Amino acid sequence: MAVHPIEYRYGTPEMRAVWSEEHRFACIVAAEVALVKALAATGMIPAEAAGIISSRAGTASLARAKEIEEQINHDMMAVVRAVSEVCGEAGGYVHYGATSNDILDTATGLQLKDSLALIGKRLQALLRTLLDKSEETKHLVCAARTHGQIGVPTTYGLRFAIWASEIGRHLDRLREIRPRVEVGQLTGAVGTQAALGPRGMEVQAVMMKELGLVAVDVSNQIISRDRYAEYFFFLANIATTLDKIGIEVRSLQRTEIGEVEEAFGKDQVGSSTMPHKRNPIRSEQVCGLARIVRAAVGPALQNNALWDERDLTNSSPERILFPEATILCDHILVVMDKVIRGLTIRKDRVRENLWVLQGVNMAESVMIELVKRGIGRQEAHEVVRTASMDALAMKRPLDEVLLENPALKGIFTAQEIRDLIDPENYVGTAEAQVDRVIAKLAPLAG
């Protein structure tokens, strides 16, 4: 019986597989195999025994481990016994010199390695989509908004480029955190490697090389959780970017604005009672699930503050935090990519909204030109501000009000005023900025 929505509603099959019980078990077994190989390579156990364990450990079953756990109430020792059973006499060397979290945390490192590789692919896919949209719309001038109010114009291309740039930084962060997060350890009961003797550091190095993980420099009984906290910060940061994009899509799809619209299927239903509805449900889902991903950061930080060489308070929350936050982050990356790829931009409404204030939103353009023609900046600001307030109050075009202003007599012709309040003439370096972003980030997108 499915209980959590990631079992039946959210999440991709690929990321669910990474955090499945079966894959977790396989990672634990892989860590045990790497350990015996390292022990044999350093002469601490017979090579023949290591060979037998390496060849047979994969036949151990999760079901058998669970049976044993029911009897002994220790999950890690249950796996050790399940693996030992299938290895005959050689099984006596399984888990030699290790403590539980040497294997469990190393298995987590393997899962994190798989997860980050998949998240990297999702980020690259979304980056490609955003760069494509930025290129497609770099000439599409639209109303920009600050404080929810229309300001001077921007372009859709610049909006997409800003989001692309943020995703590009997440890819940078991904590369930076991997050596700190994809880690394993073999340091023994309290971190001294006493059970391994003077070759402990060498055994750990060989084991982690076998697994493709970074070996910790030092630890106590567990890997310090600041590493995992950084991982959850990373997921939360990605989720917040997706939340930011989702909020903008939802805002621009408001009836009063109506500039964009999520893809809507031919037979899709928007409301159980209002047949006309076309709701931005995918963006809303992204924004909602981003809250859950961010919520992992608090407990992840607390998991680093444990008693002495360790206690067990981190274990239970991590069993929930890792799969939940990772699967949901992966999910909303995929959803947002679909949203952007399927986004409809209604150019007619874009144009209407550009002119809804009848040129008043172009007041800065007029002010700047006045300064260029010799009027002081503060005086120019006041002249245009007063004219703008009058235009708004009378619901008249700004150019008409400006042309009637005695202070501006002889400074502008009617055509010059019209050119100054044309949004197409006031987007600065927006196009060049888009081109720069595309040139810089295209190689990252693959």
Containing domain of residue 384, as a range?
357-425
pLDDT at 305 over 90: yes
> What is the structure's pLDDT at 18?
98
Share of the chain above pLDDT 90, in %: 92
Q: What are phi and psi of 85, to 5 degrees?
A: -60, -35
H helices of 311-376, in order, are 315-341, 347-354, 363-372
Domain count, the chain: 2
230: domain CATH number? 1.20.200.10
Same domain, 159 and 223: yes
271 flagged as catalytic: yes
Is the domain of 289 the same as that of 400? no
Tokens 């099984």 found at: 91
Catalytic residue among 4, 55, 271, 316: 271
pLDDT of residue 177: 98
Whether residue 164 lies inside any domain: the answer is yes
pLDDT confidence of residue 290: 98
Per DSSP, what are the bridge partners of residue 155? 141
Catalytic annotation, pick one of 74, 147, 170, 331: 147
| Same domain membership, residue 309 and residue 165 | yes
Task: Tell whether 299 and 150 lie within a shared domain.
Answer: yes
Question: What is the radius of gyration, based on Cα positions, of the chain?
Answer: 30
* pLDDT of 273 over the 90 cut: no
- CATH number of the domain within which 419 lies: 1.10.40.30
**How far apart (Å, rounded) are the C-alpha atoms in residues 421 and 424?**
9
pLDDT tens by residue, 72-87: 999 999 999 999 999 9
Residue 265 has pLDDT above 90, yes or no: no
Question: What pLDDT does residue 408 have?
Answer: 84
CA angle 264, 265, 267 (to 5 degrees): 130
**pLDDT score, position 268:** 82
| pLDDT at 335 > cutoff 90 | yes
pLDDT-derived band at 134 (thresholds 50, 70, 90) equals very high
Percent of the chain with pLDDT over 70: 100
pLDDT, one tens digit per residue, over 364-391 is: 999 999 899 988 999 989 999 998 999 9
Could you report the per-residue pLDDT of 170-210, keeping only the tens digit for each? 999 999 999 999 999 999 999 999 999 999 999 999 999 99
Q: What pLDDT was estimated at residue 395?
A: 95
331 is catalytic: no
- At residue 276, the pLDDT reads 84
Within-domain flag for 401: yes
pTM of the model as a whole: 0.95
Q: What is the mean pLDDT of the chain?
A: 95
Residue 269 lies in a domain: no
